[in-house]
Structure 1
Amino acid sequence: MASSDENPGAMPPGDGSVPPGKPMTVGQHIIDKGAQMMQSLKPMKKMSQHVCTFAIYSHDMTRQIHTHHYVTRLNQDFLQCAVYDSDDSSARLIGVEYIISGGIFESLSPEEQKLWHSHAHEIKSGLWVNPRVPEMVVRPELENLAKTYGKFWCTWQTDRGDKLPMGPPALMMSPQELDLGIVKLDLVKKRDDKYNISTEALKTARAELAVPEAERINPQADYWKQHGKGFAIEVESTEMKKITAFP
């Protein structure tokens, strides 16, 4: 069993919907409000998009999750996303995804490319949506994103009931059009009902969207499709580099 899939073991009591801990005090609320007024919080203010989509565990593709990406664009070829389990104010930060253009992806080593997934199917099938933003507004962005690749590390496996971020991160894959890559219908319906959208209607509307054909997507991405194997992180002890003797 991979370290990223081991039972997390004993955890503090609680219902799992929020991390264990005491409620915030009035003083803590005052400090937070004061900090918001006095500090710039520039990285968070650069988050320009909310994307709702789905992800699949690389080491266990029977497990699929609904994700909310808050996207910051650093340039035309690189985006970074803080990934949450919901869009509520109490949402839990469950990971991070990096998104790169096809040109940057092609410059990576084959071993590194194995950790990345393509976005073409995810977008054209209507699974990738910007909630409450008209389709015609995001259409140019979708055409660009359909040619990108992502690397998503999940640091908090809330879907298995973890009350805290436990163990090592897990590598995530994007939905695909075959076998274990197909997103479960109940997950899609729950998302569609929440935002009053139709994934099937979006799929139809995106039928003419220019995306790379399957044979033009680098086969090192979506590695499982070609080789039937995923990736998992193992944690092991190792000698650390020291500047003085220990102890």
Structure 2
Amino acid sequence: MTKLATSTITTHVQRLHAERSPDDTGEPPVVVFVHGLLTDSLASYYFTLGPAFAQAGVDVIMYDLRGHGRSDRPATGYRLEDFVDDLVALLDALGETRRVHVVGNSFGGTIASALDAWHPDRVATVTMIEAEPPVERWTGHMKGGLADAKEQLVRDEVIGWISDRYGAHTAKLSRGAGRILQRTTLAEDVASGRVIDDDLGALTAPLLAIFGDGSGLNRQVPWLEALVERCRTVVLPDQGHSVLVERTEETRKLVLDWVREHHALTGAVR
């Protein structure tokens, strides 16, 4: 397994915990993995896609979002554009000038598509795994869901129900998410930030969108295919929202093939 180097990157606003593979020879593609909200961290990629991509000759960057994992947890500043600005600042701090392939799971996919919309010069491709682009209706989904989570995840009976149904580890993560929501303005900020137009004209990079057929997010497929010029969608059967964890091998192959296809490189991706 290729070792990923751990570092703390100090940007102009945050300290972000990041891990990346050692520099390779030549010009390998660089893939940035962006995790989901509240119960997630870069660890989800460490145990799924990250090391395998590094072994395949890809330059891998994984990091904890603000408020998550080992990154700073400010009391405020959780609008979508804040997360996107952090990613740009991280790339700058790492001296990364290549266009990056951005892979985002759940909320991470929204960050990835927003980076494409607002900083197209930084993006080679976007992969959204069980995610939505940041259009107006997305903010409605997030506002309701986060408000409910803020209320419910401080209740012992709710955490107990989660433990009984999904196990102690998930219950621990859920309790931690409740603390984040109580101690920060994340629930209020995420749904109040910048959005893109419903016509998706701001999305110009090639887009791979992967969904489970049971989550409901796959209803976006006709819309994405009609409006994003270079779009490929994949719907995995008998699968809910946890695509990354439960369908790791399929996801790994889909995304690695996507990166290979869109990166003009000989020999660096094996």
- Larger radius of gyration, structure 1 or 2? 1
Q: Identify the structure with the greater helix proportion.
A: 2
| TM-score, normalisation: structure 1 | 0.28
Higher relative contact order (CA 8 A, sep 6+): 1
| TM-score, normalisation: structure 2 | 0.26
